[in-house]
A = this chain, B = another copy of it.
């Protein structure tokens, strides 16, 4: 159906190699360049990357395995990555695994069959077992957002411990001592780190830890609402709450809203992520904001470096010494709002 290089060769009277060379930046006589370009135009020729990939053993595609495409965090990070990679000629195959380990594993196998050159993963399985087979084929995987037990990958994470600590300190400075925390399941390292940050902050600030102030649920809006509801009745003396993720923030606000509980008069809150959302709610919410743009850029950068290294390797024959794995820890920033009340004067 579609025109092939052979057709271009016939049309121009040139050899196949010349045509191929034209597309691969080789030296082609200006006269012939023109001829080729004319033929391309005439025959509506489009390079067949599938065939090229078969020959070169590179698909010029990467995979992205994520827990939820509808999460703003995932979408924003992917958006940055896709942009950077496509500008280097790489396509991105997205696989949403719905936070399910089985589907995550299947997604990686799916991507392997398509011979993607690399995989970005926001892992559900923090052991990273789903990627073992893939990396053992010598291809790069970059982990995003979740610290993984296995050090055999590059990773770009946010210092979640520090993030929560920052929030806690803010609340402390504003006189809060009975502070609640709503976080997701502790199988997820990000959530784990957030809880750890909470405990650590308590220790540093001399706040006695009260486990009943900690609600552990899941990464869902429902959990945020449920958590808020629970904490409000369980700890009536609680003056502030920190949400352990964006969806939890949303759920938290839904519950406060449903119960018409005034923020920050009755309770102070610090949310997570999405500055626009924080500005749109009333009162403007204080948040711990993850640097999504940086995360995406760093992850893409690392991947592109590895992809490039892989391309160079082959010609040399000998294994160049491998780049050491990178583990980046980016910092979340605190964006102030009006959702935290200073209760110092009340003492």
Residues of B within 8 A of A279 (CB): 254, 257-258
Question: Is A114 a contact of B82 with CB atoms below 8 Å?
Answer: no
- Docked complex Cα distance between A107 and B92 (Å): 12
Smallest beta-carbon distance A38→chain B, Å: 18
Which residue in B50, B76, B277 is a CB contact (below 8 Å) of A54?
Answer: B50
A230 at the B interface (CB under 8 A):
no
B-contact 0/1 string along A34-59, CB 8 Å cutoff = 00000000001011111101100101
A250 at the B interface (CB under 8 A):
yes
Residues of B within 8 A of A253 (CB): 280-282
B-contact 0/1 string along A110-140, CB 8 Å cutoff = 1111110000000000000000010001100
Binds B, one of A67-75, A152-160, A170-178: A67-75
Residues of B within 8 A of A287 (CB): none
Smallest beta-carbon distance A62→chain B, Å: 10
B-contact 0/1 string along A1-21, CB 8 Å cutoff = 110000000000000000000
Residues of A236-288 contacting chain B, CB below 8 A: 250, 253-254, 256-258, 276-277, 279-284
Instruction: Please report A residues at the B interface, Cβ cutoff 8 Å.
Output: 1-2, 44, 46-51, 53-54, 57, 59, 61, 68-70, 72, 75-76, 78-79, 82-83, 86, 91-96, 98, 107, 109-115, 133, 137-138, 221, 250, 253-254, 256-258, 276-277, 279-284
